Amino acid sequence: MAPYESDRTAGAEGSPDEADDVRAGRRKAARYVVPVAVVGVAAATIGLVPALADSGDPSLPKITAQQLIEKIAKSDVQQLSGTVKVSTDLGLPSLGGLESGLLSGATKGSGGSSADPQSKLMELASGTHTVRVAADGPDKAKVSVLESAAEYSVIHNGDDVWAYDSKSNEVYHSTAPAAEKGQEKAPKDVPTTPKELADEALKSVDDTTSVTVDGTAQVAGRDAYRLLIKPKQSGSTVGAITVAVDAKTGVPLKFTLVPTSGGAAVVDAGFTQVDFAKPAASTFDFTPPKGAKVTEGKDSKDFKGPKGFEHFKDSKGSKAPESAPTRGDLGKGLDGLKTIGKGWSTIAEFDTGGQGMPSGSSSEGGDVSGFLNSLGDHVKGKFGSGTVFSTRLVNALITDDGKVYAGAVTKDALVKAANAAH
The tens digit of pLDDT for each residue in 119-128 reads 677 777 788 9
CA distances from 310 to 59, 71, 146, 286, 321 (A): 32, 17, 22, 21, 7
Q: What is the DSSP string of 25-86?
A: HHHHT--------STTHHHHHTTS-B----S---------HHHHHHHHHT----EEEEEEEE
Q: Is the pLDDT of residue 268 over 70?
A: yes
pLDDT recorded at residue 354: 65
pLDDT-based confidence at residue 356 (cuts at 50, 70, 90): low
What percentage of the chain carries pLDDT values higher than 70? 63
Q: What are phi and psi of 365, to 5 degrees?
A: 95, 0
pLDDT-based confidence at residue 194 (cuts at 50, 70, 90): confident
Q: Is the pLDDT of residue 239 over 70?
A: yes
pLDDT-based confidence at residue 373 (cuts at 50, 70, 90): low
Q: What is the mean pLDDT of residues 310-328?
A: 38
pTM of structure:
0.71
pLDDT recorded at residue 67: 92
pLDDT recorded at residue 116: 83
DSSP code, position 409: B
Asked whether 348 and 339 are in contact (CB, 8 A), the reply is: yes
Q: Is the pLDDT of residue 25 over 60?
A: no
Nearest in space to 49 (alpha carbons), one of 215, 187, 239, 210: 239
pLDDT-based confidence at residue 323 (cuts at 50, 70, 90): very low
pLDDT-based confidence at residue 359 (cuts at 50, 70, 90): low
pLDDT-based confidence at residue 337 (cuts at 50, 70, 90): confident
Q: What is the mean pLDDT of residues 28-36?
A: 28
Q: What is the mean pLDDT of residues 384-396?
A: 92
109-118, 179-188, 255-264, 352-361: lowest mean pLDDT where?
A: 179-188
Rounded distance between C-alpha atoms, residue 200 and residue 231, angstroms = 15
Instruction: Classify 360 in phi/psi space as left (phi over 0), alpha (psi -120 to 50) or beta.
Output: left
pLDDT recorded at residue 387: 92
pLDDT-based confidence at residue 206 (cuts at 50, 70, 90): confident
DSSP code, position 236: B
Cβ neighbors of 66 (< 8 A, separation 6 or more) are: 10, 11, 12, 13, 14, 18, 19, 22
Asked whether 216 and 223 are in contact (CB, 8 A), the reply is: yes
Q: What is the mean pLDDT of residues 383-390?
A: 92
Encode 303-321: b = buried (16+ Cβ within 10 Å), e = exposed.
Answer: bbbbbbbbbbbeeeebebb
Cβ neighbors of 7 (< 8 A, separation 6 or more) are: 210, 212, 230
Residues forming a β-bridge with 293: 170
Q: Is the pLDDT of residue 369 over 90?
A: no
Q: What is the mean pLDDT of residues 139-143?
A: 93
Q: Is the pLDDT of residue 398 over 80?
A: yes
pLDDT recorded at residue 336: 66
pLDDT recorded at residue 342: 86
pLDDT-based confidence at residue 157 (cuts at 50, 70, 90): very high
DSSP code, position 176: -
Residues forming a β-bridge with 245: 225, 252
Cβ neighbors of 72 (< 8 A, separation 6 or more) are: 198, 202, 227, 243, 245, 250, 251, 252
- Give 274-313 pLDDT, tens digit per residue: 999 999 999 999 999 999 999 988 654 444 444 444 444 4
Mean pLDDT of the chain: 73
pLDDT-based confidence at residue 184 (cuts at 50, 70, 90): very low
Q: What is the mean pLDDT of residues 187-201?
A: 64
CA distances from 305 to 130, 284, 325, 365 (A): 19, 12, 17, 43
pLDDT-based confidence at residue 192 (cuts at 50, 70, 90): low
pLDDT recorded at residue 283: 97
Sheet containing strand 403-407, strands side by side: 335-340, 347-351, 403-407, 395-399, 384-390, 377-381
